[in-house]
A and B are shown apart, each in its own frame.
Chain A
Amino acid sequence: MERLGNYESDLNLKATELRLGLPGRDEPEKQTTTTGVIIRSNKRASPEISQEYSRCNSNNSSVSDAANDDQDSAPPSKVQVVGWPPIRSYRKNTLQQKKNESDSAGMYVKVSMDGAPYLRKIDLKVYKCYPELLEALENMFKLTIGEYSEREGYNGSDYAPTYEDKDGDWMLVGDVPFDMFITSCKRLRIMKGSEARGLGSCV
């Protein structure tokens, strides 16, 4: 901390020290900030809260002075308080489980195109629906893929997007709901239209 000495009068060191309480205030008395987090007076905060507050302070020490001003500063990170919001542990765990599952799915997959010298990679998580994905592929490889139909696949276009699923089978992109596709797609291959025709009439 080389900034002691000459700069001490300018630098509000108190603002950067680690302590309980939001930056910008001298005493940890009961107060509310514009963002509305209450700090209790005379109370030693529970271990969970004090941990979070320390983290909060060390992250936000740079906005310490700004926090005194209204509204313009970045809001302090949400403090996780024990048992708040009041949701039953069971429900919380189930939702957390679902979130973890969905976070670990959705990933980068390799995309190959017949005749192209090297492969590309895309992050499937970025796309919300098939049209978005197909548009991205069209842009990436400078080609047109055309319209999907359940009966005929991508009939009428030069290329058809296919993918390898979890079971190792090659499937036509578009047959299953998008969310299901995302979780089962291992890699993509853009096939020349003539080869793909066989896939389109599978159902």
Chain B
Amino acid sequence: MESTRSLSFPDKVRERVFAHLTSPEDRSSVSLVCKSWYDAERLSRTRVSIRNCYSVSPEILVRRFPNIRGVSLKGKPRFSDFNLVPSDWGADVHAWLVAFADRCPLLEELSLKRMAVSDESLEFLAFSFPNFKVLSLLSCDGFTTDGLEAIATFCKNLTELDIQENGVEDRSGSWLSCFPERFTSLEVLNFSNLTSEVDFDALERLVSRCKSLKVLKVNRSVSLEQLQKLLVLAPQLVELGTGSFSLEFSAHQFAELESAFNNCKNIQSLSGLLDATVRYLPAIYPACANLTFLNLSYAAMQSDELDNLLMHCPHLQRLWVLDTVGDKGLEAVGSNCPLLEELRVFPADPFDEEIIQGVTEEGFLAVSFGCPRLHYVLYFCQQMTNAAVATIVQNCPDFTHFRLCIMNPGQPDYLTNEPMDEAFGAVVKTCTKLQRLSVSGLLTDLAFEYIGKHAKNLEVLSVAFAGSSDWGMQCVLEGCPKLSKLEIRDCPFGDAALLSGLEKYESMRSLWMSACNVTVDGCRLLATKMPRLNVEVIKDDESDDSQADKVYVYRTVAGPRRDSPPSVLAL
């Protein structure tokens, strides 16, 4: 070994030790100690998560981590989910695949979120990585079911195919028939969000021969009768997503279905249940004893149906529902689910002016009284009061994720007509572990003063139609030490607010501001002063050139983007 070192610890041993480090934070710390630790860490790293695909380039990544087996990539800003980002904005995965194919051909796992993925890329993936095992696509777009055919046909070692909520062009269900007859390794199959009918015989044979299948989430085209057959073949399932849950059934068929569910002793997660009717829902009761996650967000249930179902789910920890269950349904949640940790209530009809339904503060209150362990909530409602929120967080002080969406923009406390400042003040004062917050309703700068003053663990903040002046945004930028993502739309924050965060943005992952009062000049100034930030302005067609309609600011070691479309102005 080298003579300059008195104690030379063999590199290989160091690498073997570091191989046991799993937490990315630990690995980060370790890599900063010295050069040899940096090298040992990077050579022993097998998984990496890139939370903003433009913060680093594929070349830098593969050069630093040549032995990675699993990569997760996130692309577009979150507001692209709500059509606020042009479709040609970027985040194309292809350059990454090319780099991986070149330097990391043993790649096994790829999880993509909000990336642009083409059929060519999927084909390229299928051909380039012989050991490929896990593909997860969430909220991606640009591909069709033809691309899935390549994956099914050529990934001989595939264990996981998870296609969720993507902008996928669903041409046909024939991709499922492309899994070779000798292919048996599948453990996870989720095609619940695709619409085309798949060949049921092919699906049946696939399920039959993949003995390790743990997760199966089928789409609407799979009928109740067909589901029963699949359950008989795969009683070992841990997660099940049903297709359409209504059919004309005889009593005998119902009994068979019930019996099939009864044999599934390991189910912990249940979803789908599309068009579930009161008559057939009881068939699932025998399988609910160990249920920890129930996703009813595509099943428009009423309050009594939910009550009857929840009586059979004593161990429920996570529940997603539509607001068709109403406050009464949420009362049932409060009564039946003492172990509940997460609740998401989605609006069934967010744009219908005639229907006055959904949930109010009463439902949320009821849940908070019955479920003291609640720490994650996503709640879309028609009305809310400051007092209710204050009581809710008193009942449940451990919130880590508090996402409240009062659906009418800028709506005040409906009883007192006051802003909702005190509600969110109560949240940040009481919930010291709060990591993620989404605010809504009528809010002045006071709400942001509270946030800046108290939300010391806050990492992600989403703001819409709120605030009175630049001061509000400034409070947050100056006050929240752990702030990582800030996304703002339709607020009166301008250049002064933007520039007040000058020194903050490098310690943050990203900032998004749209429909605020920021100008292009302000953005240019930011870009000039902070060269290690990428400052992008997305132009709306008809606006005047001085306004920065949409601004996206993020730290990067990769320099300015080279693939910006014409609508994006990189400053």
Using CB atoms and an 8 Å cutoff, list the residues of chain A in contact with chain B.
Answer: 30, 32, 34-38, 40-44, 46-47, 77-78, 80-92, 94-95, 98-99, 176-177, 179-180, 203
Contact = CB atoms under 8 A, between A and B. Distances in A.
B542 A47 contact: yes
Give the interface size class of chain B: 35 or more
Given A36-B410, A38-B409, A82-B83, A177 B279 contact: yes
Contacts of B521: none
B195 to A, nearest CB: 9
B246 A177 contact: yes
9 contacts: A38-B410, A40-B490, A46-B515, A85-B380, A86-B79, A86-B464, A90-B193, A95-B349, A176-B248
A90 B347 contact: no
B492 A90 contact: no
B542 A44 contact: yes
B165 interface: yes
Contacts of A84: 82, 409, 464
Given A43-B515, A78-B351, A177-B277, A91 B165 contact: yes
Contacts of A43: 515, 517, 547
A179 B417 CA distance: 41
Contacts, number: 107
Given A37-B409, A90-B193, 18 more contacts: A35-B411, A36-B409, A36-B442, A42-B517, A43-B515, A78-B351, A81-B490, A82-B84, A83-B84, A85-B350, A85-B380, A86-B81, A86-B82, A87-B350, A88-B81, A89-B83, A177-B278, A177-B279
B309 interface: no
Given A44-B542, A85-B347, A94-B298, A203 B167 contact: no
A177 B408 CA distance: 36
Nearest to A87: B350
Interface string B499-536: 00000000000000001010000000000000000000
Contacts of B277: 177, 179-180
A41 B442 contact: no
Interface of B: 79, 81-84, 139, 165-167, 193, 246, 248, 250-251, 275, 277-280, 297-298, 300, 346-351, 353, 380, 405, 407-412, 417, 441-442, 462, 464-465, 489-490, 492, 515, 517, 540, 542-544, 547
Contacts of B407: 85
A37 B82 contact: no
Nearest to A36: B411
B541 to A, nearest CB: 9
A167 B46 CA distance: 58
A89 to B, nearest CB: 6
A89 B81 CA distance: 6
Contacts of A203: 250-251
Contacts of A41: 492
B83 A83 contact: yes
Contacts of B351: 78, 80
A77 B353 contact: yes
A46 B489 CA distance: 13
B349 A36 contact: no
B143 to A, nearest CB: 14
A179 B407 CA distance: 29
Contact of B346 (A42, A87, A99, A176): A87
A30 B139 contact: no
Contacts of B278: 177
Given A36-B410, A176-B248, A179-B277, A88 B165 contact: yes
What 8 pairs across the A-B complex have the smallest Cβ distances?
Answer: A83-B82, A36-B411, A38-B410, A90-B165, A177-B279, A177-B277, A88-B81, A85-B407
Contact of A46 (B346, B347, B540): B540
Contacts of A38: 409-410, 442, 465, 490
A177 B254 CA distance: 13
B290 to A, nearest CB: 27
B252 to A, nearest CB: 10
A81 B139 CA distance: 21
Residue from A32, A82, A88, A179 with most neighbouring chain B CB atoms (10 Å): A88
Contacts of B411: 35-36
Contact of B300 (A77, A86, A98, A177): A98
A192 B429 CA distance: 71
Residue from A30, A46, A86 with most neighbouring chain B CB atoms (10 Å): A86
A33 B116 CA distance: 41
Nearest to A95: B348
Given A44-B542, A47-B542, A203-B250, A81 B346 contact: no
Contacts of A32: 410, 412, 442
Contacts of A46: 515, 540
B275 to A, nearest CB: 8
Contacts of A85: 347, 350, 380, 405, 407
A81 B351 CA distance: 10
Given A90-B165, A90-B166, A36 B347 contact: no
Contacts of B462: 86
